[in-house]
Amino acid sequence: MTARPASRRPVHAAVRRAVVTVAVVLGAAACGFVSPGGEPTPAASPAVLTIGMPNSIEGEDNNPFDSGSAAQKLGYANVLYEPLAQVNLVDPAQDPTPWLASSWSWDASYTELRVTVREGVTWSDGEPLTPDDVAFTFALRRDDPALNPDLLPYEDVRVEGQDVVVTFGSGQYVHRTTAINTFVVPEHVWDDRPAEALLEDPDLAPVGTGPYVLEEFAPDGVTLVARDDYWGGPLAVPELRYVAYPDNDALTAAYVRGEVQWGWAYIPSYEDVYVAADPDHLHQFAPTGLAIDALFLNTQVPPFDDVAVRRAVNLVLDRDDISNLATSGVWPPLRSATGLPLPAGEPFLAPELADLGLAVDVPRAAGILEEAGYELVDGVLHDEGGVPVTFTLTNPSGWTDYLWELEIVKEAVARLGIVATVEGQDEAEWFDRIGRGDFQASMHWTDGGATPWDTYSSQMNGAHVRPLGTAADANFGRFQDDEADAAFRTYASSTDDAERAEALATIQRVYVDQVPAIPLLGRPTAAQYSTVAYTGFPSEADPYASPQPTSPAASLVLTRLEPSAGE
């Protein structure tokens, strides 16, 4: 357990407490805190909502800016810190829900955002939320690119009464919801921290506007308790417990034993393995928007620095097999060569590409390689220099769905004479290596959004390119194309619908022709949850928010939960 000075921990008489009768005991492994196997243990008190994720953590780090922090990987950052508005990732076109902002507006060019800050909100240390806090947070992102992963071109930030006005260097049509879906931090806490080291600050005494405060960080889990002074009103759940599990299987077993009530794990045959254990109370909700799962290819190193290899591999992958065998059909196979999920992506398809699909064509793939100078020698593909074509497929060892997908890729490319190997890695090592470009091929997700901007930008926007060895936050394959990069800038900044449509068509043409990554599956924002103790989670009948506990909507979801009847 991590100790901290009592003077740094906000203390409130207003914080409601609940007693944990029995906790899930976790082992502190060298790679991080993980749950053990062994005998089933009793569940916690029904009043406690336990959230599990198959993500390893290495120690206390509550920094909301750091995507690798324990707070972000387990999700509790999103109940400590809150956004200006809640964006429904299930239906990104839906109007956002006002949150720390009571209202906002854009000018016609989408270069100026005016945010009216909600009154009556207090930080967990009792200080009021002010427009200065919001302006300070925008300025942090403007001044430090490491805190601005969405690459928003912030310029002037000023306070006008209860409003904060932010200007941007270019039109932000595609980021019109991104800019208001970002969390806010308190100036009086963060202003005295070294600006050059904010991303490394573990934020050991977090102060947020969220509905819960950190009570304890320990090897057996992270405990948060509800605020009675929360601006959003009373909360049905008095205590949250976040637990890290080593893999999907361990978390699935914890679900079935009743030890975890909310989380996300890939569960093969989930209806038989998970739902059937308690059909009245165990649920999975997996809505799909514009995000996808793709095979990211390092275009700076062999063999994927050759577009012929990228095109050929794309043509031998059976998306139906990958969907059915690796995800039990929960992740739908992509059908459009543009890589957009359908029907969500239909309004965005370039007319000339609308009917171009993804289909297995091994003879065509072999012909592409032969034309590029490759040849088979004793069944093994060799390049023009006589070097066998091989590559390694990597993902974290505990991410079983991705590893199964990699095995299917390995078998598919063998039909071309390509020798591929699958390597499971430590999760932290994988995040580090893919960021630095130290990989050849790896499964990864894209962001979603109100438009396909994020889907494509994650895979191929040259603005994200960093030298090999330097961490990148997207476009890990370091793909760059001048025509596509110009189109990204136009799509982001133009206020003309026709101009934006043509820019998106250009991006799609480059995507189809150059294959910067290989689109495989639509990516649902999926979660599992139990209604034994609480109801009100997002569902097919009421898809009001992303169901995942690691999304910014977690605070919204927790305000919607109510005790189950009879509990």
d(CA 491, CA 485): 10
d(CA 41, CA 50): 14
- Global pTM reads 0.74
Rg of the chain over all Cα atoms, to the nearest angstrom: 24
CB-based burial label for 201 (10 Å; 0-12, 13-18, 19+): middle
Domain ranges of the chain: 6-79+210-285+526-563, 85-190, 288-524
CA angle, 477 then 304 then 396, to 5°: 55
> Packing angle between helix 453-460 and helix 497-514, nearest 10 degrees?
40
Rounding to the nearest 10 degrees, give the CA dihedral for residues 513, 517, 520, 523: -120
Neighbours of 120 (CB within 10 A): 8
Per-residue pLDDT, 212 = 98
Class of domain 6-79+210-285+526-563: alpha beta
Q: pLDDT 10s per residue in the chain (567 long)?
A: 333 222 223 333 233 333 232 233 333 333 333 333 333 344 444 489 999 999 888 899 999 999 889 999 999 999 999 999 999 988 877 899 999 999 999 998 899 999 999 999 999 999 999 999 999 999 999 999 889 988 899 999 999 999 999 999 988 888 889 899 989 999 999 999 987 889 899 999 999 999 999 999 987 899 999 999 999 999 999 999 999 999 889 999 999 999 999 999 988 889 999 999 999 999 999 988 899 999 999 999 999 999 999 999 999 999 999 999 998 888 999 999 999 999 889 999 999 999 999 999 999 999 999 999 999 999 999 999 999 999 999 999 988 889 999 999 999 999 999 999 999 999 999 999 999 999 999 999 998 878 899 899 999 999 999 999 999 989 999 999 999 999 999 998 888 889 999 999 999 999 999 999 999 999 988 899 999 999 999 999 999 999 999 999 999 999 999 999 854
Checking 460-467 for CB contacts under 8 A at 24+ apart, the result is: 460/484, 460/507, 460/510, 460/511, 460/516, 460/517, 461/485, 461/488, 462/488, 463/151, 463/488, 464/151, 466/437
In CATH terms, is domain 288-524 a member of 3.40.50.720?
no
Neighbours of 7 (CB within 10 A): 7
Per-residue pLDDT, 185 = 97
The architecture of the domain spanning 85-190 is: Alpha-Beta Complex (3.90)
Per-residue pLDDT, 5 = 29
Per-residue pLDDT, 21 = 27
Residues 476 and 513 sit within 8 Å (Cβ to Cβ): no
Residue 50 CB-half CA count within 13 A: 27
